Amino acid sequence: MDFVIGLIAFIIMLSVIVILHELGHFLVAKHFGVYCKEFSIGMGPCLYQKQGKETAFSIRAIPFGGYVMMAGEEDGSQSEEDNWLKDIPENRRLNGIEKWKQVCIMIAGIVMNILLAWIIYMGVALAQGYVVEEAKPVVYVVEENSVAQKAGLEKDDHIIKVLSEDGNSIQPKTQYEILEFIQYHHDTLTLTVKRDGTTFKTTLTPSYDKDMEGYTLGYKAIAYAKKIPWYQSLWVGCQNTWDSATTIFKSLNMIIRGQGLENLSGPVGILNVTSKSVQYGLDMYFSLFAMISLNIGIFNALPIPALDGGRILILLIEKLIGRKVSTKIVENIILASFVLLMILFIYATYNDIARMF
């Protein structure tokens, strides 16, 4: 039953995120007069379709994803031989309008995902009426038979530095910084600890927790809740969005450097985390909702040709060189980048399945 509820919550979450992303493209495209043949919710065979004044609105069988079919998209999906495209004037095609307008259309989907994340974070803070201040890197409880216990950590120990074998280190201000660090550096770590005014060092190796799906040191820190007036939830929404975006960019930086690839998650991993978040309550579920929306928005902004950021990059290149890049070249680049994304998707899914056993 928990799995079914988790699956429904997962489908709703991804559907809303993708629909709003595509709605951003659609609304701005219509504003600039671009002909939109279809707005689809889901992929695959069409289950229901209603023809609007100009755009067909569809619901398709596979409840993941969605798309806006705009005239003049140079992604290989359209040909001048298509009957519906022949009657569309140049100034109503995506590739026929000014480049700044095309950029606005591409950015619109990203903005919608970021805006959704902010609204959710703000709503969670408003509903709770309080914020949880980040836990300090101070030991509150040492778990029995944990690596922390074996390393000699005790209650009230203050972790002031974490050093990995490869030379990376942090001087954490919060417990979250330590948790984030050990996900990428889970070899033998040297901790500098302050206890009763004296400082000492100890070593330990993080252990993998299957329930948490991450590495842990085997101790708990404590966070405190602080009441806030309703209007402060606006700022909390901004702050949480910024903090989450910073975390995402740090993760991307690590992946680009070849670190933490084993932490990549695909749909299976997200489904698993979603199921657990629902069990912990709506606050946790909606916080995850916001984080995934922000992830998708930022990921789409990357300069990869199959994504919105890549399309923007091509437009900027065309602006710089003063001429249009060959449609065939653009299509081939998009196809190649799509294949690379699929390889990444398969690898992430493999990681998800491997972590289950």
pLDDT tens-digit map of 62-77 = 877 788 999 988 766 6
Task: Note the pLDDT of residue 291.
Answer: 92
Task: Please compute the mean of the pLDDT values over residues 244-263 and round it to a whole number.
Answer: 79
Task: Note the pLDDT of residue 80.
Answer: 64
Task: Note the pLDDT of residue 289.
Answer: 94
Judged against a pLDDT cut of 80, whether residue 117 lies above it is answered with yes
Judged against a pLDDT cut of 70, whether residue 304 lies above it is answered with yes
Task: Note the pLDDT of residue 39.
Answer: 95
**SS3 sequence of the chain:** CHHHHHHHHHHHHHHHHHHHHHHHHHHHHHHCCCCEEEEEEEEEEEEEEEECCCCEEEEEEEEEEEEEEECCCCCCCCCCCCHHHHCCCHHHCHHHCCHHHHHHHHHHHHHHHHHHHHHHHHHHHHHHCEEEECCCCECCEECCCCHHHHCCCCCCCEEEEEEECCCCEECCCCHHHHHHHHHHCCCCEEEEEEECCEEEEEEECCEEECCCCEEECCEECCCEEEECCCCHHHHHHHHHHHHHHHHHHHHHHHHHCCCCHHHCCCHHHHHHHHHHHHHHCHHHHHHHHHHHHHHHHHHHCCCCCCCHHHHHHHHHHHHHHCCCCCHHHHHHHHHHHHHHHHHHHHHHHHHHHHHCC
Judged against a pLDDT cut of 70, whether residue 309 lies above it is answered with yes
